[in-house]
Structures are given as C-alpha cells and as structure tokens.
Structure 1
C-alpha cells in the first residue's frame, strides 16, 4: 500500500446480533502490532462513545473483519476477526465472532470468493484467529445473496433469510482440546470465593460454565442487574481469571485490561423472564436452558453465536453443567435463553471410548449489508501490508 493512501474500502454488515466493519486484508499490515493502532483509529477508540470513528459504543458493534484470499487448503476465504476496545486502547484477536461469521459468508459471495449458483452457496470460512474452518450455507436468489426471509433472532428487529453455520470442525479453537481441564466438570479454587464447580469447554470459543445458583443468581438477571452488582461481576471476573490460568492463558490474560477469553456463561434450568430489549415475555416452555454471558468486564445483551455453539456442544457432553441443567429428555435443536430472546443450536456428539467427538453444531443467523464506502485515516500506516 502506498503510504500516502488514506482511504480504505469497507462494507458495514449486521451479522446476527453483532455489527462489523468488513475490509480487505491486503490493505493492512500483516504485523498485528502495526494493525492495532489503525483499527483503534477506524473505530474511534478509546472513547466510550467512539464518536470519531465507526464504533457504536457497544462491544457488539465494535468489531472488525479483515477478509482475503484463503491461506489454507479447503477454504474459500480468510476471515480475521478483531474485537476493538472501547474504553481501552487494545484490540483482541484471541477469539472468533460467530455472528459476524454469517456476514463473512455473505461477504464472500458478494465479493466473488465463491460462485453464486442455484439456491444455496456453500462457503468454507477459514477463521484466521482460531485456525478453524466454519462451513456456511448462504441462501441465494437470482445469483445474489438473499437477505429477506422469515427467521427471527432475539435481539434483532424484524426477520431475515437463514444462514446456516456449522461449527463442528471448530472445536479446541483456543486450547486445542474440547475439554481443556480433562473432565466434563471440575472443582476449582476461586480467590475470594472458594471452591466452585465449573465446566470448561473449548468449542469455536473457550467458555467456562457455572451454575447460576452457585453465584447467588436466579439465572434470569438482566445485563444491567449483573453489571451493576460489583460483588457478582467481581466473582465472575475471578472465575474467568482462574480458568485462564488453568488453561495456559496467563500471559494473554495479564497483558490486557479487558480480556475476552475465556467467556463465562451462567446456566440455569428453564424458567420465565422478560426480554431485555423488547420486554416480551419468554415462557419457561420456550427455552431448554437459560444462559447469561459475561466477558470483557460486561454482560452480553445477547448470547454470542460461537458461545451458543459451544454451549450446545456442552449440552451433549455427559456430565457438564449444561447437560445437568438442560431440559430433561430434550431432543432436537437446543433452545438457549439469553437476555434478548432465544437462539437454537442443533448439536450432537459421539462417544469414541472415553473421548467425546462433536459431529454437529449448527446455528442459524441472518445477515444484512448496511453500507459500503471509504474509510478515511488521519494517520496512514507506515508499514507494508501482507499479500
């Protein structure tokens, strides 16, 4: 890239309950140390309003995706995800965003990385962060991405066309093992709290499951209820820290002000609550498992797609806290209740002796292209791009 170039083409997509800025990777440095300040400038961080950039002041809208030619076999496109800090001048690459993976699939079709023939395009997405492949099925009409449809997503107004995302090839994304602690449920010591039962599952993202009642929760708290409870959020953070240390992530954890990984999910058996965004009554019969997700020092208003897939996997692994709390005799897709509604995961596992192998972990998301244009940088990069 010419160092005098100050503009970068972008596409703004909503993917599931997230929103991200998609940009071609060949316009950026390969060195992530050089990449970080560019992304901070693009998003207007650090600033709680991100007023001088593309960020929306919420972790669900402070996301970037760098897209490019695949660098591994059996993939159609490379997708590097970046969680851009809002209050802190840092960018986290140690995770994937499943919601934006739906948008990444739509981007791949729109930009010609895969051919748009028939009713469905299969897109094999290489998530560069986790070095895993996610297989997406993108609906088509007349050779173009179909965005209109009947799928409703909790936390997103209206409906859209379903994009299937299969994460079963993405297990062990962070640690390399589906069960990093070696057991479905482990008892760990949490500083300032004492011993606690946890299930640590590494699917497309690393999650730590905790019984809501063990944290003094009902399980149906709103994000505000959790974030405004310093004692509760403090315990959640210490649980995450303890698991980070146990899974070999100490260097990552202590180098960041707001580490994303691992993500804590408090689980509870089905019960009724009101949706955080709409006030709609969600009955106990509408869900198979209640979940509340906490990471980056805040509670998510909706369950992340990769976290949903990981929780779905956990529901099919005997002995995990999710399997213990999911609706008894549940069959078919697992309906997970999060603050803004529900998300379903079609998950299945197979036992090979003492080893559990995930054979299906599919969710449905919608995506929509919101805008296209040019981003203008005040401080052009000084290093050469990759490619």
Structure 2
C-alpha cells in the first residue's frame, strides 16, 4: 500500500518547489522532514524516486496554511530538502518561493483576489518575519503573462514585487549581529580577514573575492570542484556560526544552510550558466557568488539579493567599499550571478551605529506548473 498526498508544483523566481497544505502534513519538524525526504526522493543524487529536481534550487518545499499572526494573510514554512544527505533545513527562508507562495495564497482562496494588484502579507514561519508581495491580478486570477524577464528563467512573466524591508534580523534578531558594518575575523585557515555579516531576510557573510584568492566571477563548477577553496569558505562560515551562538548546528550538519557566504568581486564578464551567453561587465555593479549547503548556487537567492542590496547601502561594509561611486547614486543595485543579472532596490536610514532598513525590494515571476497526488511508500509520517 502507498499513501497519497495532494501537492502543487510551483515555480517562484529561479526556484521550484512542492507546495503542501499544512493540514495534510505533520506539525512535528522531525516527522515533517521524513515526509519531505520521501516526497523528494532523498537521499539520492538524481532523486529518481521522488519529485525532486536533483538541484538545490529545485529540491524545495513550501507548507502553506492560514495566518498565524494578526498582521499576516497566510503562513509559509519553507523546507530546503537535502539531495544526497538526509536532512531538511527549516532555519532559512527562500525568497524566490515567497513569490510563488503569494500566487498560491490567491489561487487557493487563502487571500481574496482584487483586480489590479493584490497585496499578500506572508508570514515566513522559519524566520517569523513578514514579507509583502504585490501580485498583479485580472478577472480574479493572478496574472502569468507579462514582460518581466529573469535571468535563469526562460521567457517572461508578470512581475511580483517582494519587499523584505521588514525582514531585518531574520536569523539573529539584529541587522548587524557582529555590531558593525565590517568586522575583523580570525580564521585559522586564513588569518585575520575583513568581513561584513548582515542579517536581512537571511544571514549572509560578505567577503571580498581577493581574500579567498578568487575573481568573484567564477563558474559554479570552478568552486564546487575545488575542495581547498570550499574548505576556506566553510572555515569563515564556521567561525561566524560559532561567534553567533549556533556552532553546534553548523558542526552537526554535513551541508549547513546558514550562514550564507557571498564572495563579492568587481564587475567582470563571464558566461551565463543557464544560457551559455556572455554576461557583460557593463551590466553589473558587482559580481557575486553565493555559497551554502555544500555548493555555489546557479542563480542568486531572492533573500540573499535583498540582503546584498541592504549591505550595499551600509557605509563601511565590504560591499559598499567595493562599489563604484556611480553605483551609490542609483536606486537599484545590479548584481552579477552565475545565470545573469538580478536587481534590488534598497534604502537604509538611521545612524551608522543604528541603521534601519526601509526597503529591500525585488521583482520576481511565479506560476503553477502542475498539481496532483504523490504516492509515498508505507512508513512516511502522517499528520
């Protein structure tokens, strides 16, 4: 006998995930993790016996339910499902799937549709933060067709505006958990290095490419195929994790999801991972490579994009110091990532010692891809 479970498969930005109803899955995170591993077909490099797409951008799940906070319209629990390791991370958010969560909420009747623009206040349960999504709607349905192109996604779609401005301190409770825009960090493998640790939407360590002997515009396989380099990146992540009080979590995971490490370098031309076409240096303000969960992401995470936009506005940060003066005068930061360019509109106010995030806005597209029932072998957890 096999258990049946309703699902909806959705793309949000450059990610794809299986969406499940909260009422259909266990509340206990351990039991839920076992269920999601079975749904995705993990651990297995190809995820051949499940719905996973054999890439960390497509091995994701969203658990959707009614609001659990008065200032929200819907609850959204994100799960990053391991591919070759039997683990599910619930301590981070996926910003790309947040766009899909907004579309899901409208299509499934959790939020009433309003023609023109429907605002969805999404409670990300992982971080206990509210993200607002403005979804274009016509005839009571979220629009799919549109003119917004996203590098890493074929074609175009209707733009969904995501604002992570209220997501500062998502993981640690502080925008600058080390107390300053830039800090010196003693890393056994590297000596004393400068980093910026910023917590907005997700916890991110920003480090200059030259610190790691990189250009900042490497192809993902150049990093993933270099164990010594991965060791240096993880050494930085480990020191920060221990400084911030979750070293036991980091050390217990074979491929910890947080903190993210973003390697930043000057604009440089490279070949797009998704299209094989050149990404011109003139199209970007900074080149970034995002490392977490054991590998470099083929496309930049939406939450990391929001955090990068905020870091760029913090005077004294590693990223702020690297930008050309002209980049500070533009409202949008253009980030070069392995699949192309992503833009973020951000603003920060307040004093240098007490900065406040006013806006961290990005545009994504999202749509429903499939719906149906997945069949699970006996032994998976039930709610």
Q: What TM-score, normalized to structure 1?
A: 0.96
What corresponds to 1:224 in structure 2? Answer: 221
Give 1:74's match in structure 2, choosing from 64, 71, 74: 71
1:169 is paired with a residue of what secondary structure?
A: coil
Aligned to 1:28: 25
Per the alignment, residue 372 of structure 2 pairs with 373
RMSD: 1.3
Is 2:80 the partner of 1:102? no
- Of residues 146, 150, 165, the one that matches 1:168 is 165
1:158-214 CA-partner distances (Å, limit 9, x unpaired)? 111110000000110000000000011111111222111110000000000000011
Which of 297, 310, 316 is the aligned partner of 2:313?
Answer: 316
Contact 1:5 1:380 in 2 (8 A): no
Matched, 1:282 2:282: no
Over 3 Å counting, the alpha-carbon distance change for 1:188 and 1:118 in structure 2 is same
Partner residue of 2:343? 344
- Counterpart of 1:210 in structure 2 is 207
> Aligned pairs, how many?
381
Question: Closer, same or farther in 2 for the Cα pair 1:370/1:33, shift >3 Å?
Answer: same
The residue number in structure 1 matching 2:124 is 127
Which residue of structure 2 lines up, in the alignment, with residue 251 of structure 1? 248
Q: After TM superposition, list the pairs within 5 Å mapping 1:50-199 onto structure 2.
A: 50-199=47-196
Does the CA-based 8 Å contact 1:199-1:321 persist in structure 2? yes
Any stretches of 5+ residues in structure 1 without a counterpart?
Answer: none
**Local SS of the residue matching 2:299:** coil
Answer yes or no: is 1:364 the counterpart of 2:363: yes
Provide the rounded CA distance (Å) in 2 between the counterparts of 1:318 and 1:351: 12
Residues 356, 261 of structure 1: CA spacing in aligned structure 2 closer, same or farther, 3 A cutoff? same
Q: Once the 2 structures are TM-superposed, how far is the Cα of residue 59 of structure 1 from its aligned partner? A: 0.3
Say if 2:180 and 2:353, in contact at 8 Å, map to a contact too. Answer: no
State how far apart, in whole Å, the 2-side matches of 1:142 and 1:327 are: 45
In structure 2, C-alpha distance between the alignment counterparts of 1:45 and 1:165, rounded to whole Å: 31
Q: 2-side partners of 1:260 and 1:45: how far apart?
A: 17
- Gaps of at least 5 residues in structure 2 are none
| Cα distance in 1 between the residues matched to 2:260 and 2:30 | 24
Residues 244-299 of structure 1 show CA distances to partners (whole Å, capped at 9, x for unaligned) of 11111112112211110000000112222221221222222211111000111101
Structure 2 vs 1, CA of residues 364 and 50 (structure 1 numbering), >3 Å: closer, same or farther? Answer: same
Shift in Å, 1:381: 4.7
2: CA distance, partners of 1:312 / 1:192: 29
Contact 1:270–1:326, Cα closer than 8 Å, also in 2: no
Tell me which stretches of 4 or more aligned residues in structure 1 moved more than 6 Å.
none
What TM-score, normalized by structure 2, do the two folds share?
A: 0.97
Contact residue 275 and residue 281 of structure 1 kept, 8 A: yes
CA distance in 1, matches of 2:130, 2:259: 20
Q: Choose 277-286 or 62-71, whichever is displaced more.
A: 277-286
- Report how far residue 80 of structure 1 moved: 0.2
